[in-house]
Structure 1
C-alpha cells in the first residue's frame, strides 16, 4: 500500500506587496490552522515516512507546523523546488520518482496544481481550500502506479470541516 497526502499551504499574508512570492509568510489564521490540522493528523496516528515541501516560506512553515504536531523532525523535511509553481503533471512526476521503500508521503505546496492533481487522482475532489489535507491510499507497491490506478481510499479534510 502507498499513501499520498497532498497538503495545500495554510492561509498566507498579502500584507507586504514588496515581498517576493516565495517569501510571503502565513497570516494569523494560517498559523492557527496548520497546527490544528497537524493535531487532527496526529489524532489519527498519521506518521508519514517523508515530508516534502515547496521552498516557498508559506508552504515550508505549514510543513514545519504540521511536522511539530505529528512528531516529524523539522530538519528531515525535504525541500524540493519542483513543488513550487509547477503543474499536476510535474507533481505526479515527483511522486513517480519516490523511493518504493516509502509507504507514506506528505507533500506541501500550492494551488492550483494541488487541486488539479487531487482532482486527477479522484474526481471527488474539486477544490482544496487553504491548509486542506487530501489523503489517497493506493493498493500498489510502486509509486509510479499513482495516477494510473484508482485509489482505494480518498479523504479530504480542511480547517473549516
Structure 2
C-alpha cells in the first residue's frame, strides 16, 4: 500500500521583471505552507519523500513541509513545472518502491487535472497550498496507473 499527496505550491508573489520560474512566496504563502504541513502532521500523515517542481514557489513550499515533517528527502523534478497528467504519471512510476508515502508539489492547471483524473470527487480547482491525498493499492509505483486509488481527503488552507 502506498500513499500519494498532491500539493499545490503556496500563494506566490508577482514581482515585476521576475521570471515565472523564480517567483517567490508572498506573506500569506509563507504562513499557509507551515500551517498546512502542521495540520497534516497532526492528522497523523506520514511523508517519506518530497518530490517537487524546482520552481522557487514550489520548492519553497516543499521546504516548509520538509521542515515540519523533519525530513529532508527532497527530490527536484523538472517535469513537475508546467506538468501534464502524463508527466505526473511518469514521475510517480519512476519512484523508488522503498518510498511508501510521497508528497508531490507542483502547479495549476496540471495538478488539478491530475488530481481529478485519480478520483470521482469533483475537485474543481486546487487553490494554493491545497492538499489531496490518495491511498494506492500497490507495492510498486511502476504499477500506479492500473492500481486502485482511494480518495482520502482534500484540504485547503481556508478550511483548517
Question: Which residue in 2 is equivalent to 1:9?
Answer: 9
Question: Which residue in 2 is equivalent to 1:41?
Answer: 40
Query: Matches of residues 73-88 of structure 1 in structure 2 within 5 Å?
Result: 73=72, 76-88=73-85
Question: Which residue in 2 is equivalent to 1:130?
Answer: 128
Cα shift at 1:146: 2.3
CA contact (8 A) 2:119 2:150 kept: no
The one of 154, 157, 160 aligned to 1:156: 154
CA distance in 1, matches of 2:124, 2:117: 9
Classify the secondary structure of the residue corresponding to 1:123: coil
Structure 1 residue 66 and structure 2 residue 65: aligned?
yes
Query: Matches of residues 140-151 of structure 1 in structure 2 within 5 Å?
Result: 140-151=138-149
CA contact (8 A) 2:83 2:111 kept: no
Question: Which residue in 2 is equivalent to 1:109?
Answer: 106
Q: Any unmatched runs of 5+ in structure 1?
A: none
CA distance in 1, matches of 2:152, 2:114: 13
CA distance in 1, matches of 2:116, 2:50: 21
Normalising by structure 1, report the TM-score. Answer: 0.93
CA contact (8 A) 2:119 2:151 kept: no
Q: Could you list the per-position Cα deviations for residues 87-120 of structure 1 after superposition, in whole angstroms to 9, with x for gaps in the alignment?
A: 1111111101111121111111101110011000
Question: Which residue in 1 is equivalent to 2:31?
Answer: 32
**Consecutive aligned runs of 4 or more in structure 1 exceeding 3 Å deviation:** none
